[in-house]
């Protein structure tokens, strides 16, 4: 889910679309959660 959102964000950025603050917060939170999950399952 998170990786998919990140991909969409990167594609949006690559196509010159405007980056919204909500997107930035969502992705930052997503990466944070993924890091926590990675540590939890290590």
pLDDT at 31: 81
Q: For the chain, what percent of residues have pLDDT higher than 90?
A: 0
- Asked whether the whole model's pTM tops 0.75, one would answer no
The answer, yes or no, to whether residue 23 has pLDDT greater than 60, is yes
Helix (H), strand (E) at residue 4: helix 2-14
Question: Does 1 score more than 60 pLDDT?
Answer: no
- C-alpha distances (whole Å) from 17 to each of 9, 11, 33 are 9, 9, 26
Q: Is pLDDT at 32 greater than 50 in this prediction?
A: yes
Domain ranges of the chain: 2-40
């Amino acid at each position: 889910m998170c990786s998919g959102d990140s991909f969409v964000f990167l594609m949006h950025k690559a196509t010159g679309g405007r980056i919204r603050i909500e997107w930035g917060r969502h992705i930052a939170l997503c990466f944070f959660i993924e890091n926590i999950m990675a540590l939890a399952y290590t």
